[in-house]
Amino acid sequence: MATMKCPRCGSENIMPNLRIRDRYERGLGQDLEVEVQGNPGALIFKGAHRETLRATVCGECGNVGLSVENPKGLWETYSQRENS
């Protein structure tokens, strides 16, 4: 496996694929998600598709890169949505 390097500072202290937690009261939380609506003009059935966000963080300078777990699922919804 190739060593990852920070695009900002060049450090190899990279922590990939970290969960991004949204914190609620009492310590409950959930992972942040990106949402694409298949039919944004609809009142109710917007056909939303969500994918969990993951962060890659540099342990040296704190640079953060974001990605989603399943981008193809999002793209499928985005590319099929109606122009409204």
Contact 3, 12 (CB under 8 A): yes
Tokens 């499928």 correspond to what residue?
A: 76
Calpha distance 9→49 (Å, rounded): 35
Measured from the CB of residue 34, what is the shortest distance to Zn ion in angstroms?
A: 24
Q: Is 58 in the site for Zn ion (CB under 5 A)?
A: yes
Q: Is 61 in the site for Zn ion (CB under 5 A)?
A: yes
**Which residue among 31, 60, 69, 76 contacts Zn ion (CB under 5 A)?**
60
Q: Considering only 26-34, 35-43, 55-63, 64-72, which stretch makes contact with Zn ion by CB under 5 A?
A: 55-63
